[in-house]
Structure 1
Amino acid sequence: MSTSDRSAPHVGTFAAEHLSPSFPERAARGTASRLRAWQAAALDKYFATEPRDFLAAATPGAGKTTFALRLATELLARRAVDRVIVVAPTEHLKRQWADAAHRVGIRLDPAFRNSQRIIPRAFHGIAVTYAQVAAKPYLHRTLTETASTLVILDEVHHGGDALSWGDAIREAYEGAARRLSLTGTPFRSDTAPIPFVSYVPDEQGIRVSQTDYAYGYGRALADGVVRPVLFMAYAGKVRWRTTTGDEMEAHLGQGDTQDVTSQAWRTALDPEGQWMPGVLSAADRRLTEVRHSVPDAGGLVIATDQTAARAYGALLHRLTGEEPTVVLSDDKGASGRIQQYADGDGRWLVAVRMVSEGVDVPRLAVGVYATSSSTPLFFAQAIGRFVRARRRGETASIFIPSVPPIMGLANELERERDHALDREGSGDELLADDLMREAETGESASDALTETYAFAALESHAQFDKVLYEGVEFGQQAEVGSLEELDFLGLPGILEPDQVHELLRSRYQRQMRRVAERPPSERQPAPLYRTLKEQRTLLNNLVGLRAKLTGQPHGHVHAELRRVCGGPAVGQASVAQLQSRIDFLRRQMAAGG
């Protein structure tokens, strides 16, 4: 008996007993039942030509697994393939795929090891990791070529993690009958080509990935498939000592140089300071508010490394009196604890990378982005853990540091990206990717940054900065625990997207009224470190908010400010002239005008 005979049951014998009896007779369009509109449309596009390679990009939480498994059942039922192999980034995701496949009648073995050499006869196929394939690509090539195989490459950008990995994936699956590549985020920041992805020149001549079907966050939000995301940004004063013995002080996110911003950011994330306890306390208050209407809502803290994760877990324990679930990638029981948390109603989960990609915990509603990674890929994967909608009205609240790299990514949440081959990734992006890989393998994720930006954290204090929603900023800086902060933390946990804007606007107006009503002696003076650039940024943010609320063009709002307040264009205006316009806008919004 051949390897194929031993390891690949023919769909006409085994699968006919275990797949839905109606599958062999079902036509392609029959797959649309109980599917979301985008899934049905993607299936229709696939079956219009039945290509060998198909790349589907859908925002996290949109249902890529459901789409892929419906495609697999259809191809098995039509006898277009006899075997299914799923390649996933992690061991946990292998089991998650196998569980999902079982529910639709496909039996995948997630416990397959390279030493087995053949697929057990009782299964339609296997679920493996990219690392497994890279270890023995020739074995996986044999498994693929001994039966007509559909290979599902989950989060296919991992095929570009290293040149050797890309080569191994190509060697293993070059002979596959069908290949379905899936991704839920922007592709990698570097320029390593991803196997089985086509690249075409864009308008600038840069070769970018060609997606066969795309379903972005903006469309998914409009369809009610994902939750609205509110970003709660926190600033604050931080102080640290450099290796030369100099003491440095900065205000988080206040337009400093890249080096100073990096050191200030890492100082804020130090669990020994007061910034993280302040932010965790605010996030826990927000979680309590959400749980009034969503009783099982959970929170996730994403840490830079394992040492920080343990320390954040201890902080949450002291803060809440409840032991959080701490998940570390080198712990053999990590996958089980994630599932136990997903099935329970505990408040907090703390992790490094285990839940940053693909892991399905739908009850996560509040997040704390306590990591120094600033790559678009990692950020989008992390935020993707919170956006899966279970019912209309659920919102997600993500607490972030008010630093330019993260604020920029939050502003661009809806932007769809392609993978570019001809553009170099920045050194910071590549460094952050390396740090995250180290975190996943249990190594120190801070060594590289410490070598480049060596310092010792001395002091940090958190301050509520603003709420960012759909690219519009609401609120102004306030002390942690103040009424101004609590106004935003107390937003209801069930809101429609249009209600979010209206409530944020009303909270901001109330904050402005409180500031205006304070006696002059109690008003905080403008900080001395404020620069022209910072004033311009603040004014432009307020103009953007005013334009969003009134429907007027930005230029019209700026022209009205010059008419009322006087002075030249923004680029030539003094600090006093800019402050006059800022104060005018704040008074308008406080009055509801």
Structure 2
Amino acid sequence: MQGDLGEHRRRRGRRFLWFFGVSSLPPAWPERAAWGTAPSLRAWQTAALRGYLDRNPRDFLAVATPGAGKTTFALTVAAELLGRRLVDRLIIVAPTEHLKLQWAEAAARAGLPIDPTYSAGKGKISSDYVGVAVTYAGVGVNPLAMRIRTERFKTLVILDEIHHAGDSLTWGEGVREAFEPAARRLALTGTPFRSDVNPIPFVTYRPGPDGIPVSAADYTYGYAEALADHVVRPVLFLAYSGQMQWRTRAGDEVAASLGEPLTKDLTAQALRTALDPEGSWMPSVLAAADKRLSEVRRHVPDAGGLVIASDQDSARAYAKLLRSITGEAATVVLSDEKASSKKISQFSENDRRWMVAVRMVSEGVDVPRLAVGVWATTTSTPLFFAQAVGRFVRARTRGEIASVFLPSVPTLLSYASELEVQRDHVLGKAKGDADDADWFAAEEDLMARAQAGEAASADLEAVPFEALGSEARFDHALYDGAQFGHEGEVQVGSEEEMDFLGIPGLLEPDQMRALLRQRQEDRRKVRKPAAEERPADSIADVTTHEHLAVLRRELNGLVASWHHRTGQAHGITHAALRKECGGPAAAVANAAQLQKRIDQIREWAMRKTS
């Protein structure tokens, strides 16, 4: 057996190129390699590898934004350690069955045969393999068996998306017990933050400025850095609001506008109404997203779209809507289907337009051609948002842009505005903290359902609720932390909406910013003469309470966006606008005064972006 392993090492060694003294792997998916990666490692991967080899640590945490190439980095480390005989075996731990298969396929391309069918307690594997791939759930079922396997050899354990493991959770306890004796442990994550008080196994913590322990990564490569290096795509967020109507358990009918300041419960109910496939909001947004996809495909012919749904019933309903819109069947991926991995692989290789996936399947979707996304789930944790948006940022050609359609919900818009913010795992926060109470609890629940198979709509049926109707309106676009849009209400299907849906699919970031500003300004110039030419008897129409309400909503939305971008309190921003533009408080200001403040805050945003 030792002779077979030595021969395998010699065969594997001949496969690798040598780059600056270290081995250089091909990308995990060479047929669809991201721009700038082949045939050598990316700059951050080379720097991280050098740091690893110089320090030669037992534990190493690499934090890299989704799409940056964590898999390639980890497999390069594995090849180096195996080649230097510092380890004899490899164990890869992934969150889902699909990711486990992806790892095995990527490793095979790199000359490292991995058994993805292994389960704890199985015993021996074929001598053709140098390691196994398992899931966190599988480790949690029988950690002792995995520990025995780990102890038998000098083992490198790669812990993919380690943020899913926490000490008081089954997965975390199993991970610590199973892999404590490992010779080396390499932890990977694109989203290292958690909101509970449980330390992540094998992660180093150091006191922060306030004395609370904060996770310390050994190497960090964030979204902003990857964007500057053209490793990932920039993201254009397109937010849609609209009027919603629903009936409560008490029989009361409620009407509210998505995007207006509402209580947490009302916001959640308005969002559920918007996502109801029987209403008008989802068909309108899906049609808009398909128009955007058509524009992108003019420049990127195989670009695809992904709808992230809350449950299986909704996923199937959205697929029917897409078929009626496009005339083409959408690929539907459900978490409890055995064929889900095969469907994802097939979609990755073909040129079909749309795929619909249920919640946590999105974390296992590795389809570089995805360029347009629709957020159609009630899940709204920062961890899930970062992982979901990560499905669309994998760059293949310089100038590609990702487009993600969002409901105009404050929480989601804040995540979109803060996409480039780097977060670390902070210990010591109470689970009852208002901002952070259930971030990760929700994630663990979703992951458990993805592994065990979920009943369609089970959680939604527990809450009495009936959606009565919905309509969609284009609200605004978010790009590079700045907000762009048109004055007043923008109807779906209008020329004003097409100003944003029709943006070319290949643009450099500077070109994108300039084009968004230009289209916003051009539309403003067209509207201004039209308003001046309006007959005198129509003046009353534009000074009614409905128009004032529209302007106040627009102003409040811009102030909220400014808060997410700068941290400045809403009241301070409103006061600064009054000081700059004059006039009374927004509640009693006239249309001209409100419009002046809207123009002023847009100008601030443009100056800050420049």
TM over 0.5: yes
More deviation in 51-60 or 84-93? Answer: 84-93
| Cα separation, 2, equivalents of 1:207 and 1:60 | 25
| Alignment-derived partner of residue 550 in structure 1 | none
| Cα separation, 2, equivalents of 1:546 and 1:372 | 24
Q: Does 1:110 align with 2:110?
A: no
| Cα separation, 1, equivalents of 2:167 and 2:467 | 32
| Alignment-derived partner of residue 509 in structure 1 | 521
- Compute the displacement of 1:192 (Å): 2.5
Q: Does 1:17 align with 2:11?
A: yes
- Seen in structure 2, the aligned counterparts of structure 1 residues 78 and 465 have a Cα distance that, compared at 3 Å, is same
| Cα separation, 2, equivalents of 1:118 and 1:356 | 33
Asked if the contact 2:586/2:594 (under 8 Å) is kept, the reply is no
Q: Does 1:217 align with 2:247?
A: no
| Alignment-derived partner of residue 165 in structure 1 | 171
Asked if the contact 1:28/1:44 (under 8 Å) is kept, the reply is no
Secondary structure in structure 1 of the residue aligned to 2:91: strand
| Cα separation, 1, equivalents of 2:478 and 2:172 | 38
Asked if the contact 1:230/1:469 (under 8 Å) is kept, the reply is yes
- Compute the displacement of 1:446 (Å): 4.6
| Alignment-derived partner of residue 508 in structure 2 | 496
Secondary structure in structure 2 of the residue aligned to 1:466: strand
Alignment of 1:253-268 (within 5 A): 253-268=259-274
- Compute the displacement of 1:388 (Å): 0.3
| Alignment-derived partner of residue 580 in structure 1 | 593
Secondary structure in structure 2 of the residue aligned to 1:113: coil
Asked if the contact 2:577/2:600 (under 8 Å) is kept, the reply is no
Q: Does 1:486 align with 2:498?
A: yes
| Alignment-derived partner of residue 537 in structure 1 | 556
| Cα separation, 1, equivalents of 2:209 and 2:597 | 43
Asked if the contact 1:302/1:368 (under 8 Å) is kept, the reply is yes
| Alignment-derived partner of residue 453 in structure 2 | 442
Q: Which amino acid aligns with 1:289?
A: E
Identity over aligned pairs, percent: 53
Note the residue ranges of structure 2 that are not aligned, 5 or more in a row: 26-38, 567-571
Q: Does 1:34 align with 2:40?
A: yes
Asked if the contact 2:19/2:40 (under 8 Å) is kept, the reply is no
| Alignment-derived partner of residue 429 in structure 2 | 423
Q: 2:411 aligns with which of 405, 416, 420?
A: 405
Alignment of 1:248-397 (within 5 A): 248-353=254-359, 355-397=361-403
- Seen in structure 2, the aligned counterparts of structure 1 residues 26 and 395 have a Cα distance that, compared at 3 Å, is closer
Residues 323-354 of structure 1 show CA distances to partners (whole Å, capped at 9, x for unaligned) of 00000011111110100000000000000135
Secondary structure in structure 1 of the residue aligned to 2:362: coil
- Seen in structure 2, the aligned counterparts of structure 1 residues 542 and 303 have a Cα distance that, compared at 3 Å, is closer
Secondary structure in structure 2 of the residue aligned to 1:485: helix
| Alignment-derived partner of residue 472 in structure 2 | 462
Q: 1:566 aligns with which of 566, 582, 585?
A: 582
- Compute the displacement of 1:537 (Å): 2.7
- Compute the displacement of 1:42 (Å): 0.5
Q: Which amino acid aligns with 1:576?
A: A
Counting matched residue pairs gives: 574
Provide TM-score, normalisation by structure 1.
0.89
Residues 417-456 of structure 1 show CA distances to partners (whole Å, capped at 9, x for unaligned) of 01122113544535643652365233247544554x5311
Alignment of 1:142-181 (within 5 A): 142-160=148-166, 163-181=169-187
- Seen in structure 2, the aligned counterparts of structure 1 residues 285 and 9 have a Cα distance that, compared at 3 Å, is farther
- Compute the displacement of 1:160 (Å): 2.3
RMSD across aligned positions (CA): 3.1
Residues 396-426 of structure 1 show CA distances to partners (whole Å, capped at 9, x for unaligned) of 0000000111001101100110112211354
Residues 139-193 of structure 1 show CA distances to partners (whole Å, capped at 9, x for unaligned) of 1111111111110000011212962221111111000000000001243333322
| Cα separation, 2, equivalents of 1:295 and 1:524 | 47
Note the residue ranges of structure 1 that are not aligned, 5 or more in a row: 548-554
Q: Which amino acid aligns with 1:112?
A: Y
Asked if the contact 2:94/2:160 (under 8 Å) is kept, the reply is yes
Q: Which amino acid aligns with 2:476?
A: K
| Cα separation, 2, equivalents of 1:529 and 1:10 | 78
Provide TM-score, normalisation by structure 2.
0.87
Secondary structure in structure 2 of the residue aligned to 1:114: coil
Asked if the contact 1:230/1:397 (under 8 Å) is kept, the reply is yes
| Alignment-derived partner of residue 471 in structure 1 | 481
- Compute the displacement of 1:315 (Å): 0.8
Q: Does 1:51 align with 2:57?
A: yes
- Compute the displacement of 1:545 (Å): 13
Asked if the contact 1:326/1:351 (under 8 Å) is kept, the reply is yes
Asked if the contact 2:167/2:173 (under 8 Å) is kept, the reply is no
Q: Which amino acid aligns with 1:462?
A: A
Asked if the contact 1:475/1:511 (under 8 Å) is kept, the reply is no
- Seen in structure 2, the aligned counterparts of structure 1 residues 257 and 528 have a Cα distance that, compared at 3 Å, is farther
Secondary structure in structure 2 of the residue aligned to 1:19: helix
| Cα separation, 2, equivalents of 1:506 and 1:575 | 32
Secondary structure in structure 1 of the residue aligned to 2:157: strand
- Compute the displacement of 1:302 (Å): 0.2
